[in-house]
Amino acid sequence: MDDVIIGLEIHVQLNKLRSKMFCGCSTSYHDAPPNTHTCPVCLGLPGSLPVLNRRAVEFGIKVALALNCRIAEETMFYRKNYYYPDLPKGFQISQYDYPLATGGHVLIKGDDGQERRIRITRVHMEEDPGRLVHAGTIDKAKYTLVDYNRCGMPLLEVVTEPDLRSPKEARLFLDKLRTILEYLDVFDGNLEGALRVDSNVSLAGGDRVEVKNISSHKGVEKALSYEITRQRNLKRRGIEVVQETRHYDELRGVTVSIRTKEEAHDYRYFPEMDLVPLRIADWVPRIKAELPELPDAKRERFREQYGITDDHAKSLTSEIKVADFYEWVAARSDPKLAAVWIADVLKGELNYRDLTIDSFSRDHMLEIVRMLSEREITDEIAVTLIRTILDRGGSPREIAESMGLKRADDDYVVQAVREAVADSQEAVRDYLSGNARAINYIVGQVMKRTKGRADPSVAHRLVKEEIERQSS
Amino acid sequence: MLTQLKEEILSGSAEEYLHKIFERIERSRLNAFTTLARESALEAAREFDARPWKGALAGIPIAIKDNICTKGIETTCSSRILRGFVPPYDAHVIERLKAEGAIIMGKTNMDEFAMGTSTETSCFGPTRNPWDLERVPGGSSGGSAAAVAAGEAPCALGSDTGGSVRCPASFCGIVGLKPTYGLVSRYGLIAYANSLEQIGPLTKTVEDAALLLDVIGGHDPRDSTSVASEKNYLNSIFGDVRGTRIGVPQEYFGEGVDPGVERAVWDAISVLEGLGASWKMISLPHTKYALPAYYIIAMSEASSNLARFDGLRYGLRVGEDRDWHTTFSEIRAMGFGKETKRRILLGTYALSAGYYGRYYLKALKVRTLIRRDFEHALKEVDIIASPTMPFPAFRIGERITDPLSLYMSDVFTVPINLAGIPAISLPCGFSDGLPVGLQLMSRPFEEGLLLRVANAYEKATPYHLRSPEVV
């Protein structure tokens, strides 16, 4: 896929802010009836004027710094002019020349496992338009309803250079971006419309196609794969790919043309004179100082401080909540053991149930790790405990006791080993004749007899000893 | 005048005074008002009479240009497209007026969206000049100026984008002040060209203008371009003008200027000299580029500011709703007048890809040069004096068919808006029986000095005392 060239424009809703970009309306409209979070300013009523939310600029600078960008000394707003019913002023207040920040980068692990540096062209601020609800599909709707609750929500547009080489890389990039945004506490990715993606896709030598309306970071891989296949098929049939804008239809999983190059908008950008140029150079040192530890730095520190593998460190830092959870447990138990059990087991069990880390108490995790390191329970029992807590609730110790889940004592295991070896003479012969793996069958028998309460590694050792004792 | 009226109302009745004024308006042939807020004004007057209180404008009725939002009172910008628009909020200046006890009596006629110099482009028809009913009152705040000149309102607010307060003040023989850009909040002023315009008072005297400016000026957090001001202009107008240096720009006289206007303005300069001011000729070398730069900037901004009028949320709705593009195009085609369309089209063109640098950016550069002209000049002098308009009020219909000649008449007013400085127009005589306006300008935020010089001149001359003989 070396010929694939992808660049992204990501719209991030700074929905952790309390008020909108240019007015005092509340940003928590997500469960509210339509058109209830509006005022003359965000409705663009005649005579109203915008007033900049300075916190929004601070949030923007935070993100830009985390993306390793250069922050502008002075920034200003422009009007982007176009007619659409979701845009009550007939223009969107956005940025053009003098954007908030330029020239950053994000590191991701590429398709080939190598670290790749995705360059960020610019980061700028703008206001969100309203939301259109079509009665039916976009092309066949009899009418369309407009909800201006979203109108004026603070947006950050992050634009990448065309550095991405596959749909998967695009998804990895978005995952990374999302992680960073969550670390910065500027954004709740679970809210509808929090992250929207437009992308530019081309095959080497071909024209560039813009794909709009990718509304989730999960959709991006599908949308881009579809578009690349479409372009490849055209190329194969000798048809030239033309520059155009296409709309991603999430339901059907296809892209449809909405604008050709000739129909491209002239947005007539010009300065928004109702807002004054903003000198932000002086803001940067303070914001920089307040920046939290970011994913890459945290991953590095986890590896060094806790001596865990890079894979574990990466997995544990991919979500700030998981990282905090891990650090709490690791500080009170064996950090390596905690890493294995949180990264490999707990995360898997949560994912299987579509739950987040909030669904599991860190005290319970700590207790399980401690029981493991004190060899009170076996790995198998630990897994059972985690599953039981997630499915039915309760605490590890209670469950262990009520279900009789305790690591079997040695006599009991020795007895089971003797019985298992005696009953598996065929396997013993195989083992003695050189098939080392035959011993696993016998260990399995031991586990069966002890109902999983034996420590498999102990059982393994005892079986081996028993066979040797028997054959000597 | 307002101070006196305040006392009269306090000892008499606000309601009675208002009745008297409304009667006069009913008999009037001026067409100065678009909406009379009879009910709410009378109610406010009765309330005041029942419980009089002290406010800078207690009990005083005021007329408001129809592009300033008034809660509960239709606000149309004299455009069909805004017919039926009743703002759910008051502009900052209206809040301030009400807080000082003023009574909003109605909305005044104007050029559609303030685009004009004659009040002829209004969808309500032209306003007439009270000095000669066949002539225009000037524009775009023609309704406000005519109403004040004819005694249909004791004072009024207008807006000045390129002379829209000063021009009608000049044509109607009253005082009109355009404050420094940023001194008066634009919150609630329906934008025509937002980087140029300011709300300003139209009054019979300089003192009244200072009184109104005290009320409407000052910082408003809802307008990011508004700045904190030193209040109390009323106190600063008294005092003499001895030692004040006046500059007379050579570019504002000569060809195209009516001889009667020129004579009246030179007489005014002599009067100021007699009061102890000195004067000298100065040059504002980029004056000749001001007009094209102004129109490019104003039209560009207008093309964007007027984009919101699509009939979807308020205002005109026509025919059957069809698809979005058809419906809003039809509404705009029917709702806007000819001049408004012309300016939207020209502004759209000037901002288009490929033309932006040639027109808009170049106009911004000229704007900087104009501003520097004034900065340099106002280092050597304290006040600049010129005619407000090159000629007195022209006949209705005389220029409206020739937009270019109409644009040319703004030649002495638009440089002031490009520079953002304050300027005042005040009556300084007559040419063929029609009022002539003297324009005075000062450094930014030096309204105190500007008003003091204007007041000294006014006190030394009789022109502000003359009123038109209206039926």
A62 and A209 in a single domain? The answer is yes
- Is B174 a residue whose pLDDT tops 90? yes
A191 and A302 in a single domain? The answer is no
The reply to whether residue B303 touches residue A84, judged by beta carbons under 8 angstroms, is no
The fraction of chain B above a pLDDT of 70, given in percent, is 99
In a domain, B187, yes or no: yes
Q: CB–CB of B142/B94 below 8 Å?
A: no
Q: What is the pLDDT of residues B276-294, one digit of tens each?
A: 999 999 999 999 999 999 9
**Angle at alpha carbon of residue A56, lines to A52 and A60, rounded to 5°:** 125
A327 and A434 in a single domain? The answer is no
pLDDT of residue B17: 97
Q: Take residue B175 and report the two structure tokens written for it.
A: 């005082």
The reply to whether residue B88 touches residue A81, judged by beta carbons under 8 angstroms, is no
A325 and A239 in a single domain? The answer is no
CB half-sphere exposure, A228, CA atoms < 13 A: 22
Considering Cα of A161, then A165, then A166, then A168, what sign does the dihedral take?
negative
pLDDT of residue A2: 66
Average pLDDT rounded to a whole number, residues B207-225: 97
Domain extent for A387: 293-402
A382 and A459 in a single domain? The answer is no
What residue type is B117 in one-letter code?
T
Q: Which of A356, A371, A402 is the last residue of a domain?
A: A402
Q: What is the pLDDT of residues B365-374, one digit of tens each?
A: 999 999 999 9
Cα dist. A308→A61, A323, A374 in Å?
33, 13, 20
Domain extent for B38: 2-244
In a domain, B223, yes or no: yes
Cα dist. B99→A168, A465, B96, B230 in Å?
62, 98, 5, 19
| Residues from chain B contacting residue A275 (CB–CB below 8 Å) | 224
Q: CB–CB of A216/A252 below 8 Å?
A: no
DSSP structure class, residue B309: -
The reply to whether residue B187 touches residue A49, judged by beta carbons under 8 angstroms, is yes
The reply to whether residue B303 touches residue A45, judged by beta carbons under 8 angstroms, is no
Q: What is the CATH number of the domain that holds A442?
A: 1.10.10.410
A357 and A433 in a single domain? The answer is no
Measure the CA–CA gap between A167 and A221, rounded to whole angstroms: 5
How many domains does chain B divide into? 1
Average pLDDT, rounded, for chain B: 96
pLDDT of residue A409: 67
In a domain, B10, yes or no: yes
- pTM, entire model: 0.90
Query: Which chain A residue lies closest to B321 (C-alpha atoms)?
Result: A143
| Residues from chain A contacting residue B87 (CB–CB below 8 Å) | 40, 45-47
Total CB pairs under 8 A between chain A and B:
99
pLDDT of residue A140: 73
Band the pLDDT of B164: cuts 50, 70, 90. very high
pLDDT of residue B305: 98
Between B89, B194, B360, which is nearest A40 by CB?
B89
pLDDT of residue B88: 96
A326 and A416 in a single domain? The answer is no
pLDDT of residue A332: 95
pLDDT of residue A464: 85
Q: What angle do the packed helices A167-183 and A295-306 form, to 10 degrees?
A: 80
Measure the CA–CA gap between B317 and B321, rounded to whole angstroms: 9
Q: CB–CB of B137/B121 below 8 Å?
A: no
A349 and A233 in a single domain? The answer is no
Cα dist. B58→A108, B185, B436 in Å?
69, 22, 32
In a domain, B271, yes or no: no
pLDDT of residue B148: 98
A51 and A165 in a single domain? The answer is yes
In a domain, B252, yes or no: no
CB half-sphere exposure, A146, CA atoms < 13 A: 14
A182 and A92 in a single domain? The answer is yes
How many domains does chain A divide into? 3
Q: Which of A368, A402, A436 is the last residue of a domain?
A: A402
The fraction of chain B above a pLDDT of 90, given in percent, is 91
pLDDT of residue B120: 97
Q: What is the pLDDT of residues A203-234, one digit of tens each?
A: 988 899 999 988 877 789 999 999 999 999 99
CB half-sphere exposure, B120, CA atoms < 13 A: 20
pLDDT of residue A217: 73
Q: Which ranges of chain A have pLDDT less than 70?
A: 1-2, 138-139, 407-409
Q: What is the CATH number of the domain that holds B199?
A: 3.90.1300.10
Q: Is A81 on the interface with B (CB under 8 A)?
A: yes
In a domain, B152, yes or no: yes
A77 and A133 in a single domain? The answer is yes
Q: Take residue B217 and report the two structure tokens written for it.
A: 């000026």
**Interface confidence (ipTM) of the complex:** 0.95
| Residues from chain A contacting residue B79 (CB–CB below 8 Å) | none
B contact set with A (CB within 8 A)? 68-69, 75, 77, 82, 85, 87-89, 91, 186-191, 194-195, 221-225, 300-301, 303-304, 306-310, 312-314, 324-325, 328, 348, 351-353, 356, 360
A329 and A446 in a single domain? The answer is no
Q: What is the pLDDT of residues B387-435, one digit of tens each?
A: 999 999 999 999 988 888 889 999 999 999 999 999 999 999 999 999 9
pLDDT of residue A287: 97
Q: Which of A287, A317, A348 is the last residue of a domain?
A: A287
Q: What is the pLDDT of residues B102-113, one digit of tens each?
A: 999 999 999 999
